[in-house]
A = this chain, B = another copy of it.
Amino acid sequence: MCEIRMTERTRVKRGRKIASYDREVVNNVIDESWVCNIGVSVEGEAMVQPSSHWRIGNEIYLHGSVKNGLFQTVMKGQTACITLCLLDGLVFSRSAYHHSVNFRSVVIYGKGRLVEDPEEKRAALDALIDKYSPGRSAEARPPNEKEMKVTAVFAFSIDEVSAKVRTGGPNEEPEDLELDVWAGVKPVTSVIGELIPD
Contact = CB atoms under 8 A, between A and B. Distances in A.
A189 interface: yes
A143 B96 contact: yes
Nearest to A169: B198
Nearest to A188: B192
Contacts of A81: 39, 45-48
A153 B90 CA distance: 20
A1 interface: no
A182 B68 CA distance: 30
Interface in A79-114: 79-85, 87, 90, 92-97, 99, 101, 103, 105, 107, 109
Contacts of A196: 169, 184-187
A140 B103 contact: no
A40 interface: yes
A37 B34 contact: no
A41 interface: yes
A107 B50 CA distance: 9
A57 interface: no
Contact of A92 (B68, B126, B133): B133
18 contacts: A13-B67, A14-B67, A14-B68, A37-B39, A37-B50, A38-B48, A40-B45, A44-B44, A45-B78, A92-B133, A92-B195, A92-B198, A95-B147, A96-B126, A139-B181, A183-B198, A187-B196, A191-B191
